[in-house]
């Protein structure tokens, strides 16, 4: 695999030394250089990158300059030229190594591009909409196509807002959390504290994993069908309700909890497993019963991890659109009642404003509202993520002294 | 006189019983929910394949309706996979083996931010920014490679094609594949890596000979999980794609996916109608496909668990 340290004329000249092969007097020089001959000067990659940028700019200018072609040309020229230089000046293995290093860095840059692009596009369009008066405080009641037409053609301020969608999202997510946290927490307690590797616990672990992958729209279809069945049975038994449509806020909450429960189970299970066994044993030794040990010792130790896991689960479901769209529908006015009537959530609001603008021919105000709502949604989700990490680090149980 | 040592204290026994019963029933409730998902979808999709007034079974009619959607879903998902998988593995390698160790955690958070952006925002971005940006590329592909069926047909003037949808899906599944791969790359035994380096391997040779063989199962299962997500992703496709008939062309409008079809059709379908049953039935098909993909992924992970730690 290794190359013999016989310096080629090019390698020797690269060090600035005279190409004096076979000269007995310079033997010491050749031997010293055999340690350094397989390296390239450290400034070379900067020079190559600079050259590639210039060349890439020139080439893309030939085709009519744009950022994408500039980036592609520069990356291609840089990767190719550094491979060729290393291949000719050092050896093939080094060149392959350098090639893959460059490709890995390129992959990282490529992954950053959509992130930057999404945040830039949402912020640049969304901020003006967010600053429109009453955007956070008003709903869409009374906002007709004529109002939007006036905004677009006569420069009237864009009216309408997201208050109803914020309230809907808040209520639906809270209800989903209230349903899924007890179920998820109890299940993970069963898996960690009670199960002894039996069939039931293995089945639960497996199917919780499977549940993580349920398409969100399928969860919505399930919740809608289940609620319709429940309502028909309920009204059939009691005779209290006339057949009501299953499109309710609570149906959406059930759909979201189908998505949320597996996340809660997975995270809390992990957190409960890292609680040291010595704590449980100390509690048992004092004669404390198991259920009180779990409630008073295990859960308080793991509470920071559990709280951050629940927050992450909330962050995951608050951005879900499809299950709410098929279960809770969309309305223009504020609805505070989870058990009566249709309800709008923030993601559904964004979707509807794009897909069915309030005024089909004058869609600019609708798009402005949608982008501003998207900005609000991103801020909420990222805030929740940040909050979760904050809880996890700030309130983490001390690792030492135990 | 009774001894307090031989006599069991009965207080609190009820608490123990009730609590353990509660935890078991919560676990059973999860299993029941999953069973009910399958059951409800099956029962409610009956009307799509059996209609009394149309002479009983209408399975072929349903299949005619469903197969273009299944194929469209697969096309979009595979475009996403082909684009995302190499980049995701590269990013995971960057975080685990190339980035400065002090920065690698922060870089991981940045990539996780990609997962934090809601799908409807990705859809809006794909519709308003990515699609229009891809129009010149579609035009170029059509002019120069139009003889390939994939690039035949009129290039879309809005950029709202299945290819754009695939790119958006690729961006969305990138963080999933990355996080799975990263976890496994980090777990490569340090001794293997150091042994490879000590034998004179370059960094790439070390990765090729010690990291990849160790992580192969993990990479595959990460990709399968990403595929499962791409198959079920709704909003991005519903917003980006202007749906239509099944065509082989990736650059003209047309094709549709199951989740997008449900999301666009369900709010308009009257409850209890054949149309609603049809939508629930393709939902069941989607559920079964993703179930299969996810179970395969989990199975691969569990088969290699003992030596890869990928779980």
Mark which of A101, A128, A155 sits at the end of a domain. Answer: A128
Question: Is it the case that residue A381 has pLDDT exceeding 80?
Answer: yes
Residue bearing tokens 């909420």: A380
Nearest CA in chain A to B285: A218
Contacts of B99 in chain A (CB under 8 A): 108
Residue A138 domain-assigned (yes or no): no
User: CB distance B239–A351 less than 8 Å?
Assistant: yes
Backbone angles phi, psi at A198, to 5 degrees: -80, -175
**pLDDT at residue A274, as a whole number:** 87
A292-296, A315-319, A390-394: range with lowest mean pLDDT: A390-394
Backbone angles phi, psi at B56, to 5 degrees: 85, -125
Kindly give, in sequence order, each residue whose CB lies less than 8 Å from that of residue A383, ignoring residues fewer than 6 positions away: none
Q: Looking at CA atoms only, how far is residue B215 from chain A in angstroms?
A: 17
**pLDDT at residue B197, as a whole number:** 92
**SS3 state at A286:** coil
Nearest CA in chain B to A381: B116
Residue A246 and residue A332 in one domain? yes
ipTM of the complex: 0.84
Residue A248 and residue A103 in one domain? no
A135-149, A289-303, A333-347, B205-219: range with lowest mean pLDDT: A135-149
Question: Is it the case that residue B251 has pLDDT exceeding 90?
Answer: no
Residue bearing tokens 């273009």: B68
Q: Looking at CA atoms only, how far is residue A103 from chain B in angstroms?
A: 8
Q: How far apart are CA B232 and CA B228, in angstroms?
A: 7
User: CB distance B294–A210 less than 8 Å?
Assistant: yes
Question: Is it the case that residue A21 has pLDDT exceeding 70?
Answer: no
Residue-wise pLDDT for B92-108, tens only, equals 999 999 988 888 888 88
**pLDDT at residue B65, as a whole number:** 85
- Mean pLDDT, chain B, rounded, equals 84
Q: What percent of chain B has pLDDT over 90?
A: 23
**Mean pLDDT to the nearest integer, B226-252:** 81
A66-75, A292-301, B160-169: range with lowest mean pLDDT: A66-75
Q: How far apart are CA A30 and CA A22, in angstroms?
A: 9
Residue A90 and residue A228 in one domain? no
Residue A284 domain-assigned (yes or no): yes
Q: Looking at CA atoms only, how far is residue A339 from chain B in angstroms?
A: 18
Nearest CA in chain B to A288: B12
Residue bearing tokens 């496994």: B184
| A to B CB pairs, distance under 8 Å | 269
Residue bearing tokens 């035994």: B189
**Mean pLDDT to the nearest integer, A195-218:** 87
* Among candidates A204, A219, A354 on the partner chain, residue whose Cβ is nearest the Cβ of B124: A354
Q: Does B193 contact chain A (CB < 8 Å)?
A: no
Q: How far apart are CA A88 and CA A52, in angstroms?
A: 18
Residue bearing the bigger pLDDT, A375 or B252: A375
Q: Does B155 contact chain A (CB < 8 Å)?
A: no
Question: Is it the case that residue A314 has pLDDT exceeding 80?
Answer: yes
Residue A23 domain-assigned (yes or no): no
Residue A139 domain-assigned (yes or no): no
Contacts of A173 in chain B (CB under 8 A): none
User: CB distance A222–B290 less than 8 Å?
Assistant: no
* Among candidates A93, A117, A222 on the partner chain, residue whose Cβ is nearest the Cβ of B37: A222
Residue A1 domain-assigned (yes or no): no
**pLDDT at residue B9, as a whole number:** 62
Residue bearing tokens 């990403």: B226
Contacts of A114 in chain B (CB under 8 A): 114, 171, 174
Count of CB atoms situated within 10 Å of the CB of A297: 18
Q: Please, which pLDDT band fits residue B311 given cuts at 50, 70 and 90? A: very low
Q: How far apart are CA A356 and CA B220, in angstroms?
A: 40
Q: Please, which pLDDT band fits residue A334 given cuts at 50, 70 and 90? A: confident
Count of CB atoms situated within 10 Å of the CB of A47: 12
* Among candidates A101, A183, A217 on the partner chain, residue whose Cβ is nearest the Cβ of B283: A217
A315-329, B22-36, B163-177, B241-255: range with lowest mean pLDDT: B241-255
Query: What's the number of CA atoms in the CB half-sphere (13 Å) around residue B241?
Result: 34
Residue B267 domain-assigned (yes or no): yes
Nearest CA in chain B to A372: B121
* Among candidates B31, B119, B234 on the partner chain, residue whose Cβ is nearest the Cβ of A204: B31
Residue B17 domain-assigned (yes or no): no
- Most B CBs within 10 A among A222, A330, A343, hence the mutation to make, goes to A222
Nearest CA in chain B to A378: B117
Q: Does B100 contact chain A (CB < 8 Å)?
A: no
**pLDDT at residue A37, as a whole number:** 62
Question: Is it the case that residue A45 has pLDDT exceeding 90?
Answer: no
User: CB distance A107–B26 less than 8 Å?
Assistant: no
In angstroms, the Cα distances linking B130 to A30, A353, B134, B136, B223 are: 57, 19, 6, 11, 24
Residue-wise pLDDT for B65-83, tens only, equals 888 889 889 989 999 999 9
Residue B80 domain-assigned (yes or no): yes
Residue A363 and residue A216 in one domain? yes
* Among candidates A105, A121, A382 on the partner chain, residue whose Cβ is nearest the Cβ of B98: A105
Residue A86 and residue A200 in one domain? no
User: CB distance B205–A93 less than 8 Å?
Assistant: yes
The count of domains in chain B is 1
User: CB distance A321–B235 less than 8 Å?
Assistant: yes
Residue A120 and residue A167 in one domain? no
Residue-wise pLDDT for B273-299, tens only, equals 788 888 889 989 998 998 888 888 878
Residue A251 and residue A365 in one domain? yes
Q: Looking at CA atoms only, how far is residue A248 from chain B in angstroms?
A: 13
**pLDDT at residue B305, as a whole number:** 57
A43-47, A297-301, B26-30: range with lowest mean pLDDT: A43-47
Residue-wise pLDDT for B41-55, tens only, equals 888 888 787 777 766
The CATH number for A294's domain is: 1.10.3720.10
Residue A202 and residue A343 in one domain? yes
Helical axes B101-116 vs A92-130, angle rounded to 10°: 50
Count H helices and E strands in chain A, helices first: 16, 0
Residue A72 and residue A124 in one domain? yes
Residue bearing the bigger pLDDT, A393 or A179: A179
Residue A121 and residue A225 in one domain? no
Q: How far apart are CA A392 and CA A122, in angstroms?
A: 29
Residue A334 and residue A280 in one domain? yes
Residue-wise pLDDT for A25-44, tens only, equals 444 444 445 556 667 777 88
**pLDDT at residue B309, as a whole number:** 42
Count of CB atoms situated within 10 Å of the CB of A334: 17
The count of domains in chain A is 2
Q: Which domain holds residue A82?
A: 39-128
Kindly give, in sequence order, each residue whose CB lies less than 8 Å from that of residue A249, ignoring residues fewer than 6 positions away: A168, A171, A172, A175, A328, A335, A337, A338, A339, A343
Q: Does B262 contact chain A (CB < 8 Å)?
A: yes
Residue A242 and residue A346 in one domain? yes
Residue bearing the bigger pLDDT, B241 or B27: B27
Q: Looking at CA atoms only, how far is residue B93 from chain A in angstroms?
A: 7
pTM: 0.84
**pLDDT at residue B304, as a whole number:** 67
Highest mean pLDDT among A65-69, A252-256, B151-155: A252-256
Contacts of A107 in chain B (CB under 8 A): 86-91, 93-94
Q: Which domain holds residue B148?
A: 45-307
Residue B18 domain-assigned (yes or no): no
Q: What percent of chain A has pLDDT over 90?
A: 25
- Mean pLDDT, chain A, rounded, equals 82
Residue B6 domain-assigned (yes or no): no
Contacts of A270 in chain B (CB under 8 A): none
**pLDDT at residue B5, as a whole number:** 58
**pLDDT at residue A26, as a whole number:** 44
**pLDDT at residue B6, as a whole number:** 58
The CATH number for B111's domain is: 1.10.3720.10
Q: What percent of chain A has pLDDT over 70?
A: 87
Question: Is it the case that residue A324 has pLDDT exceeding 80?
Answer: yes
**pLDDT at residue A242, as a whole number:** 56
Nearest CA in chain B to A374: B121
Residue-wise pLDDT for A257-287, tens only, equals 999 999 999 999 988 988 899 999 999 999 8
Question: Is it the case that residue A24 has pLDDT exceeding 50?
Answer: no
A118-122, A390-394, B219-223: range with lowest mean pLDDT: A390-394
**Mean pLDDT to the nearest integer, A366-387:** 90
């Amino acid at each position: 695999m290794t190359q013999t340290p016989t310096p080629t004329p090019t390698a020797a000249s690269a060090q600035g030394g005279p190409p004096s092969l076979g000269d007995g007097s310079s033997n010491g020089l050749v031997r010293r250089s055999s340690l350094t001959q397989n390296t390239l000067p450290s400034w070379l990659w900067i020079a190559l990158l600079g050259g590639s940028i210039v060349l890439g700019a020139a080439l893309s200018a030939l085709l009519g300059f744009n950022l994408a072609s500039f980036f592609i040309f520069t990356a291609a020229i840089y990767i190719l030229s550094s491979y060729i230089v290393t291949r000719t000046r050092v050896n093939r293995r080094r060149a392959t190594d350098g090639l893959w290093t460059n490709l890995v860095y390129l992959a990282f840059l490529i992954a950053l591009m959509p992130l930057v692009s999404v945040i830039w596009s949402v912020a640049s369009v969304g901020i003006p909409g967010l600053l429109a008066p009453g955007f956070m405080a008003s709903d869409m009641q009374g906002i007709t196509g004529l109002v939007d037409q006036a905004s677009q053609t006569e420069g009237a301020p864009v009216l309408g807002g997201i208050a109803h969608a914020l309230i809907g999202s808040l209520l639906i997510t809270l209800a989903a959390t209230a349903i899924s946290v007890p179920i998820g927490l109890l299940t993970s307690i069963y898996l960690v504290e009670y199960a002894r590797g039996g069939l039931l616990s293995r089945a639960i672990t497996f199917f919780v994993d499977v549940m993580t992958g349920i398409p969100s729209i399928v969860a919505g279809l399930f919740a809608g069908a289940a609620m319709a069945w429940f309502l028909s049975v309920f009204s059939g038994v009691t005779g209290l309700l006339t057949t009501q449509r299953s499109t309710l806020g609570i149906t959406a909450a059930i759909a979201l909890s189908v998505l949320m429960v597996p996340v809660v189970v997975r995270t809390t299970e992990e957190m409960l497993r890292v609680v040291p066994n010595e704590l449980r044993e100390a509690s048992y030794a004092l004669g404390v019963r198991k259920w009180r040990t779990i409630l008073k010792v295990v859960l308080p130790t793991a509470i920071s991890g559990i709280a951050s896991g629940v927050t992450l689960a909330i962050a995951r479901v608050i951005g879900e659109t499809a299950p709410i769209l098929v279960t809770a529908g969309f309305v223009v006015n504020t609805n505070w009642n989870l058990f009566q009537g249709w309800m709008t959530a923030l993601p559904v609001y964004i979707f509807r404003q794009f897909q069915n603008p309030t005024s089909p021919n004058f869609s600019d105000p609708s798009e402005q509202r949608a982008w501003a709502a998207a900005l609000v949604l991103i801020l909420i989700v990222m805030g929740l993520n940040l909050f979760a990490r904050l809880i996890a680090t700030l309130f983490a149980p001390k690792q030492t002294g135990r | 006189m009774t001894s307090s040592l031989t006599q069991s204290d009965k207080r609190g026994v009820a608490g123990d019983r009730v609590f353990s019963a509660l935890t078991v029933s919560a676990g059973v409730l999860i299993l029941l929910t999953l069973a009910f998902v399958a059951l409800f979808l099956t029962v409610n999709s009956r009307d799509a394949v059996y209609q009394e007034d149309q002479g009983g079974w209408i399975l072929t009619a349903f299949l005619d309706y469903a197969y273009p959607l299944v194929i469209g879903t697969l096309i979009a998902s595979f475009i996403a996979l082909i684009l995302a998988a190499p980049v995701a593995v590269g990013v995971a390698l960057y975080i685990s083996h190339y980035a400065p160790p002090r920065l690698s955690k922060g870089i991981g958070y940045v990539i996780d931010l990609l997962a934090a952006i809601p799908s409807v925002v990705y859809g809006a971005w794909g519709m308003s920014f990515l699609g229009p940006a891809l129009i010149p590329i579609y035009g170029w592909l059509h002019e120069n490679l139009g003889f390939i069926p994939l690039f035949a047909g009129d290039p879309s003037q809005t950029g709202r094609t299945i290819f754009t949808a695939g790119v958006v899906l690729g961006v969305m599944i990138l963080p999933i594949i990355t996080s799975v791969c990263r976890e496994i790359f980090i777990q490569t035994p340090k001794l293997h890596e150091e042994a490879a380096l000590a034998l004179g391997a370059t960094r790439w040779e070390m990765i090729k000979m010690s990291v990849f063989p160790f992580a192969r199962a993990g990479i595959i299962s990460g990709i399968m999980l990403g595929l499962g997500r791409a198959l079920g992703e709704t909003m991005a496709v519903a917003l980006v794609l202007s749906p239509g008939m099944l065509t082989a062309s990736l650059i003209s409008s047309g094709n549709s996916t199951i989740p997008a079809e449900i999301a666009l059709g369900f709010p308009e379908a009257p409850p209890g109608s054949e149309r609603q049953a049809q939508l629930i039935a393709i939902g069941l098909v989607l559920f079964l496909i993703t179930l299969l993909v996810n179970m395969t992924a989990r199975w691969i992970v569990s088969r290699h668990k003992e030596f890869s730690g990928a779980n």
